[in-house]
């Protein structure tokens, strides 16, 4: 018979088994076994269960509870970054002959507990690296694949080749396992200048970017001729083999920096690129998440793209209400976009609408947002960059810009499609004591930090909205370009912003500053309304 200490251990480790059989049967079990211990209880239950009135799944449930306890007691230091992908040190993987047992361990947290069924199931038990909470749930085939690759230190390329699957299948599985906490991957090397965070510990979540975006202008061809177009110059069409080589180079860059890669295909109109489907397929096969910044298209064309791989978003543009928009983008464009948004909604494809803010359309932004309510998933704006043909238009006046932003923030509280993007919105959030958001690119101005723009001729720019060349991908690798002095200069931004309390989520807009003729590496955004008193106070949360 179990000693008092053994009995307490058993009650602590197997509370669910004890609850299921009831106190009377539980005590009978302990009295029948001369040496009942956590290690031998599952085997004892298997023997005892023959011909007895206990659930047939009880031995397996005991194995699971014992494993859960083991993982709970495991020691792990999650504060030290991994040098290479490794398994979560608390992870336990259990192959069971009954399914739905994991839900029994968390019955109080569920409203509908699945009945145990006789069927094989793999279960993972681990402590979340971030939350420190214990997890116990069935493992998916994708997760088991990732765990095998990491545990055996296999080469993802070789695994994909041997299993005749796209590399993206393996990489997506590995990324998923890392996000779920099943594995620990090295930290992203896309990191902000540490000086941005001196005295700003509350903003450290904006220090490391887990995703890097390539905004890829694959063609200059376009079916529109917008009055604010940044670049109507003609360029040689990107050859397909060049595009494939760029994808391989981007994959190498993302691996070397330990980030997930995202590609936003754009142009011109990216769908006019003659090899779009082939390039898009290869990008999907390599595991990149994909988005499209384009023009309205036929439903059949979008379905064709979705059959290859569903983009995470499709973005179109409107420049105000019908008359103003069609003046900028051409007659009939407004109605075509509204019809196209209906197509995207029918296809359940996430839609985004972007507006370029000028003096002529500022008073139409919020009315347009109301027009788009229930028609799109997200609406936001960028300020006009006085570059290319956009230099002929009028920037929104600085007088009244702050009050416009305040009205925009208020409208966003009641209109779910309105999204915050302009970095200067964070000044208002800061003043109001609210949470700061990531700004234009999730990390303030992301130029040459967590994104770059690539043109059809191979030129890489820190931002597409103004001339900001940092290299040519046909002459250097993306890694060499990113590490170059020009890129570093753009991502450090204006020196005048260094002492600003919200620098990590702002930095203004370099494109706007460039268009207004300032030195963007020393002077702040001309529209900035953060007072010197506020800067000096440096009130950080």
- Tens digit of each residue's pLDDT (9 = 90 or more) over 193-246: 998 888 787 788 899 999 999 999 999 888 878 877 776 677 788 899 999 999
Query: What pLDDT was estimated at residue 237?
Result: 84
Q: Which of 146, 97, 145, 93 is nearest to 123 (CA)?
A: 93
Query: What pLDDT was estimated at residue 409?
Result: 97
Query: What pLDDT was estimated at residue 34?
Result: 59
The parts of the chain modelled with pLDDT lower than 70 are: 1-4, 6, 33-36, 49-53, 107-113, 231-232, 538-541
Query: What pLDDT was estimated at residue 35?
Result: 64
48 φ/ψ angles, rounded to the nearest 5 degrees: -65, -35
User: 502 Cβ partners below 8 Å, 6+ apart?
Assistant: 203, 426, 427, 430, 436, 530
What is the distance between the alpha carbons of residues 466 and 513, in angstroms, rounded to a whole number?
Answer: 10
Query: What pLDDT was estimated at residue 204?
Result: 86
Provide the 8-state DSSP code for 114.
P
Query: What pLDDT was estimated at residue 50?
Result: 58
| Residue 118 β-bridge partners | 98
What is the distance between the alpha carbons of residues 524 and 514, in angstroms, rounded to a whole number?
Answer: 11
Query: What pLDDT was estimated at residue 236?
Result: 81
Contact indicator for 273, 293 with CB cutoff of 8 Å: no
Enumerate the H helices of 103-151 as residue ranges.
Answer: 141-151
Neighbouring C-beta atoms of residue 40, cutoff 10 Å = 11
Q: 273: part of which helix (H) or strand (E)? A: none
Q: Which of 418, 347, 357, 414 is nearest to 386 (CA)?
A: 357
Query: What pLDDT was estimated at residue 389?
Result: 79
């Amino acid at each position: 018979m179990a000693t008092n200490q053994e009995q307490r251990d058993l009650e602590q480790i197997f509370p669910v088994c004890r609850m299921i059989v009831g106190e009377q049967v539980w005590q009978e079990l302990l009295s029948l076994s001369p040496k009942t211990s956590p290690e031998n209880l599952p085997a004892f239950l298997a023997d005892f269960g023959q011909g007895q009135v206990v659930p047939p799944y009880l031995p397996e449930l005991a194995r699971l509870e014992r494993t859960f306890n083991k993982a709970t007691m495991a020691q792990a230091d999650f504060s030290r970054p991994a040098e290479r992908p490794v398994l979560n040190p608390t992870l336990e993987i259990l192959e069971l002959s009954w399914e739905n047992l994991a839900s029994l361990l968390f019955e109080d947290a569920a409203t509908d507990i699945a009945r145990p069924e006789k069927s094989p199931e793999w279960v993972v038990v681990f402590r979340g690296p971030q939350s420190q909470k214990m997890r116990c749930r069935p493992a998916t085939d994708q997760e088991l694949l990732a765990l095998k690759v990491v545990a055996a230190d296999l080469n993802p390329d070789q695994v994909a080749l041997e299993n005749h699957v796209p590399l993206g299948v393996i990489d997506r599985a590995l990324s998923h396992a890392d996000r779920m906490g099943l594995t620990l991957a090295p930290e992203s090397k896309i990191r902000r200048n540490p000086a941005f965070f001196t005295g700003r510990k509350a903003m450290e979540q904006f220090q490391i970017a887990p995703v890097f975006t390539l905004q890829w202008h694959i063609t200059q061809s376009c079916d529109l001729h917008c009055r604010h177009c940044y670049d109507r110059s003609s360029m040689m069409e990107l050859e397909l083999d060049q595009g494939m080589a760029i994808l391989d180079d981007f994959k190498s860059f993302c691996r070397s920096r330990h980030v997930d890669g995202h590609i936003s295909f754009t142009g011109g109109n990216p769908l006019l690129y003659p090899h779009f489907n082939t390039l898009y397929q290869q990008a999907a096969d390599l595991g990149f998440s994909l988005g499209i910044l384009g023009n309205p298209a036929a439903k059949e064309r979008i379905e064709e793209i979705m059959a290859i791989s569903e983009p995470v978003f499709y973005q179109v543009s409107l420049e105000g209400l019908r008359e103003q928009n069609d003046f900028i983008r051409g007659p009939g464009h407004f109605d075509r976009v509204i019809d196209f948004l209906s197509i995207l909604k029918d296809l359940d494809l996430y839609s985004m609408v972007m507006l370029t803010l000028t003096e002529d359309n500022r008073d139409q932004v919020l009315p347009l947002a109301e027009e788009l309510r229930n028609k799109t998933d997200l609406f936001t704006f960028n300020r006009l960059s006085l570059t290319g043909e956009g230099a002929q238009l009028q920037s929104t006046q600085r007088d009244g810009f702050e009050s416009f932003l305040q009205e925009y923030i208020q409208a966003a509280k009641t209109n779910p499609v309105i999204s915050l993007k302009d970095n200067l919105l964070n000044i208002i959030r800061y003043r109001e004591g609210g949470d700061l958001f990531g700004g234009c690119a999730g990390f303030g101005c992301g130029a040459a930090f967590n994104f770059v723009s690539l043109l059809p001729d191979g030129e890489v720019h820190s931002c597409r909205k103004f001339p900001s060349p940092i290299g040519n991908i046909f002459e250097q690798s993306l890694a060499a370009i990113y590490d170059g002095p020009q890129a570093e200069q753009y991502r450090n931004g204006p020196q005048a912003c260094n002492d600003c309390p919200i620098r990590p989520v702002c930095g203004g807009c370099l494109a706007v500053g460039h268009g207004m003729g300032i030195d963007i590496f020393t002077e702040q955004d001309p529209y900035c309304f953060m007072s010197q008193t506020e800067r000096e106070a440096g009130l950080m949360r």
